[in-house]
Amino acid sequence: MSTESPDVSIDISPLEPLPINGTVTMSLEDVVDTNMNEIPPQGVTVIISNESVTVTNHEVIIEEQETETEEPETE
């Protein structure tokens, strides 16, 4: 008897109709492979993170994190 979790693969299809709220989120827990063979239509955004996949027709604003850069000291 194996105690390993089964290999799970999910297909992301941004062309499928979204629910009334406009957003679908899928957990990536135990997922070893994701496939998206279609380009999302205009107005649909696919967000893939370490933990989930979200497909939405809401506006998405991605803020860039500012990284501190050390300025060389001048004497």
1-10, 16-25, 46-55, 58-67: which range is least confident on average? 1-10
Give residue 5's pLDDT band: very low, low, confident or very high (50, 70, 90): low
Which residue spans within 1-75 are E strands per DSSP?
Answer: 8-11, 23-27, 31-35, 45-48, 52-56
- Give mean pLDDT, residues 1-7: 62
Is pTM beyond 0.85? Reply is no
- The pLDDT, as a whole number, for residue 3 is 58
Strand 45-48 relative to strand 52-56: parallel, antiparallel, unpaired?
antiparallel
Q: Render pLDDT for 8-51 as a digit per residue (tens, 0 to 9).
A: 888 999 999 999 999 999 999 988 899 999 999 999 999 999 89
